[in-house]
Amino acid sequence: MPESIWNHCITSLQSELSPEQFNTWIRPLQLDSQALANEISLLAPNQFIKSWVSDKFMSRIVELVAEAGATRETKVVLGVAANSLARHRRVIPEPDFKPMAVAPVVSNHSAPTSSDMVRADRDVDVEGGLKHQHRLNTQFTFQRFVEGKSNQLGLAAARQIAENPGGAYNPLFIYGGVGLGKTHLMHAVGNALIEKNPNAKVLYLHSERFVADMVKALQLNAINDFKRYYRSLDALLIDDIQFFAGKERSQEEFFHTFNALLEGGQQIILTCDRYPREIDGLEERLKSRFGWGLTVAVEPPELETRVAILMKKATQQHVDLPHDAAFFIAQRIRSNVRELEGALKRVIANANFTGRPIDVELVRESLKDLLALQDKQVSIDNIQRVVAEYYKIKVSDLHSKRRSRSVARPRQVAMSLAKELTNHSLPEIGEAFGGRDHTTVLHACRKIKSLQEESADIREDTKNLHRLLTT
Ligand SMILES: Nc1ncnc2c1ncn2[C@@H]1O[C@H](COP(=O)(O)OP(=O)(O)OP(=O)(O)O)[C@@H](O)[C@H]1O
């Protein structure tokens, strides 16, 4: 009985929430088999998820439980699974591979001397962590980060980690498109950790830098120093880990570092442009390990958040930005926060240059080129119209649930064109095609890509459509 009630809740919540929300908060909940009669007892894997669910979703869960036919006396209780900590403390198995041979050092010296080691340290930037704080951008703080629905989960998780590093949300994996605040959030945690403890060893680096440092350490025979340094950190923040894809030796080294830090209770934060499972060329064991802590998505900000970000950035620069001017910019620049910032910079520069106050007119003038370019940009509506016309079907067929090949294939073509030619995110595209899930859009993009290789017809169709839409 509790199972069927809870299944009803899950099904409803899955259709009501975004996939990220559902996967982060609802999917980890388990029904407690030890519950009392008349009780739906749910167990969260940790305190963080428990309190978030309790704040944001509990009232809806209670409604759904009633809707599923539970008696009036049925209580819904939420706890934390007893073994939740054990999960994070489990013994990490020894790596299941043999260390690769290290390339011999190309050097005039027969063996590295102690001065080589110092130089090596400096070269690979591992010397006593002297630079570990310099790499943090002090502007990227929590105070300067604007909260919105699109980044709420990431921000809450980052705040928790700043309070309690190395706790249950280790590693924190933040993923999402470009310019959406992933790096900012990661630095905000680092800055907060250093504010609390100025001696904390916090290292931020881009994954390419990790790879380059490791290669140098190998060349200089300083890999042990490299290892020692990384393992001595209190927190390791690595940006854009999609660059590890295909780099086997780096993945191997990172795997060791990752395990050592996790076991030592040191905090790891990673960012990526996509969900861990979707990184091609990344070893399975890394993918699965990335999911051990908390995985959160940041999404493109919605209009209100874009306005709030602009207002905050203007205030920080002591610039008077009227609300209607901010609104105008936010309405036009929708792709990401970095572009929003760039637009604001242009407006401010123009205001300084001409000595005029900022208003909608000045914004329009300052962003003339950008807006003209945007007007030329293809919209999803446009894609749907052109694709429907091309395949002689109705636009409504593209929104419908019909699965016949004559409709499903054009729909997939239209989705993949929307991904390619617009700035819309996968969930936004899914929404525009009759409220479909973002994974459906992803599947469509992959399908069309592989069909383009196999079928001359599809190649021809997509080429024609491309031309119709862009010229
Ligand atoms: N919610 C926000 N509030 C204030 N500023 C933000 C917010 N989100 C992003 N920004 C700003 O937008 C710019 C881009 O953000 P950031 O570099 O963190 O993006 P990113 O997601 O890491 O992108 P990339 O994948 O390209 O590295 C930064 O200047 C950052 O301060």
End-to-end CA distance of the chain: 60
Of the candidates 240, 239, 234, the one whose C-alpha atom is nearest the C-alpha of residue 192 is: 234
Residue 33's pLDDT is 81
Lowest-confidence range among 38-47, 130-139, 235-244?
Answer: 130-139
Q: What does the pLDDT average to over 3-9?
A: 89
> Does ligand 1 have an atom closer than 6 angstroms to the CB of 183?
yes
pLDDT at 113 over 70: no
Residue 103's pLDDT is 26
pLDDT at 344 over 60: yes
> Does ligand 1 have an atom closer than 6 angstroms to the CB of 309?
yes
pLDDT at 137 over 90: yes
- Please check whether residue 17 is in contact with residue 76, taking contact to mean a CB–CB distance below 8 angstroms: no
> Does ligand 1 have an atom closer than 6 angstroms to the CB of 272?
no
- Please check whether residue 308 is in contact with residue 148, taking contact to mean a CB–CB distance below 8 angstroms: yes
Find where tokens 């499903």 sit.
Answer: 408
Residue 238's pLDDT is 95
Q: What is the per-residue pLDDT across 236-264, written as a single tens digit (0 to 9) for each?
A: 999 999 999 989 888 988 898 899 999 99
Q: What is the per-residue pLDDT across 394-415, written as a single tens digit (0 to 9) for each?
A: 999 999 988 888 999 999 999 9
How far is ligand 1, taken at its centre, from the CA of residue 367, in Å? 21
CB environment 360-397: b (16+ within 10 A), e (fewer): eebbeebbeebbeeeeeebebebbbebbbeebebeeeb
Please enumerate, by residue number, every residue annotated as part of a binding site. Answer: 179, 181-183
pLDDT tier at 134 (50, 70, 90 boundaries)?
low
Find where tokens 């400096």 sit.
Answer: 122
The contacts of residue 148 (CB under 8 Å, 6+ apart) are 301, 302, 304, 305, 308, 309
> Does ligand 1 have an atom closer than 6 angstroms to the CB of 343?
no
